[in-house]
Amino acid sequence: MRAERIVILDWDTMAYRRDELNARRFGSLAAHVDIYPQTKPEETVEHIGDADIVICNKVRITREVLEACPNIKYIGVLATGFNNVDTEAAAERNIPVCNAGSYSTDAVTQLVFAYIFDYYQKVALYSMEVRLGGWEKAPVFSYFPYPTAELRGKTLGIIGYGNIGKRVAKIADAFGMSVLIATRTVPESCPFPVVTAEEVFRRADILTLHCPLTDVTAGLINRKSLSLMKETAVLINTSRGGTVVEQDLADALNHDMLAAAYLDVLETEPMSPDTPLKGAKNCTITPHIGWTPLEARRRLLDITEDNLRGWLNGNPQHVVNGVQ
């Protein structure tokens, strides 16, 4: 079975350089494939038109869009998160929504530990000191004005115990760290203590978020939860920007209530020039790059194509809204 028309709404989110990935790979699954570099909200209905298959990354597929595009039969999301799609409205129309869970597990885990190493080992800071001549002026052979520390014995608090949370925990354990888990659903077999979020806030030397953005997790990091944390603690967020109240985090950093924060996601993306975190003390922000290693993006496209092929053959997979 082949689709009539596939529309990809925001291909530029997948490939910064045109020669990195090939969107035409979907051509074997449909009579026509239309690829848009980007789609503004007011262009969504026009770009979808009579397409029966919609593939997107961050373009919002709202109830209004679904009502205006009655030919849609399938929505593929080029991401793990699918909060840009009104899954309930899609289910009402018997439209399956399929995501690409687990494609970025290794990539995001790698970024989490890059942050951890940056804070505790300070390689970039020391490299800059050497370039500025600091070592040349040192009175002894070893020059270490900035304190470093071992990971062994540090407590890593993980909120969310999905694929990424599990991988982060496993690597932390290999470094001899103490791991605490807080998760909505207590896993049947977890080798680490499962505690409340409040206990994680209080005990963590490093707190890393790996939870989806839901009504429960929105604003999870706020003035109250930050007040529970150690002044020496480090916050890492590679999940969703909306889990953090940005003004509260900026205030905590600027008043030395928290040692540092490393963020790969913000509430508004691209970053708003008005975000209070832009100039906050000891706040490192990267532009949502955790998922972007080329291997991960290739894997993402493989999963997305396999999802669609499975649905066309009557075997849907990675369905997030219960429609089969």
In whole angstroms, what is the distance from residue 89 CA to residue 91 CA? 5
Question: What is residue 13's DSSP assignment?
Answer: G
Sheet with 206-209, edge to edge strand ranges = 178-182, 155-159, 206-209, 234-237, 260-263, 283-285
Tokens of 85: 């799609």
Q: In terms of residues, how long is the chain?
A: 324
In whole angstroms, what is the distance from residue 54 CA to residue 10 CA? 11
Residue among 167, 210, 240, 318 flagged as catalytic = 240
Residue among 20, 150, 198, 269 flagged as catalytic = 269
Residues forming a β-bridge with 32? 5
Residue among 203, 210, 288, 299 flagged as catalytic = 288
Q: At what angle do helices 105-121 and 294-312 cross, to 10 degrees?
A: 160
> Is there a catalytic annotation at residue 240?
yes
In whole angstroms, what is the distance from residue 162 CA to residue 290 CA? 16
Contact 240, 267 (CB under 8 A): no
Residues forming a β-bridge with 3? 30
> Is there a catalytic annotation at residue 288?
yes
Helix (H) or strand (E) holding 236: strand 234-237
> Is there a catalytic annotation at residue 318?
no
Name the 3-class secondary structure at 104: coil
Q: Catalytic site residues?
A: 240, 269, 288
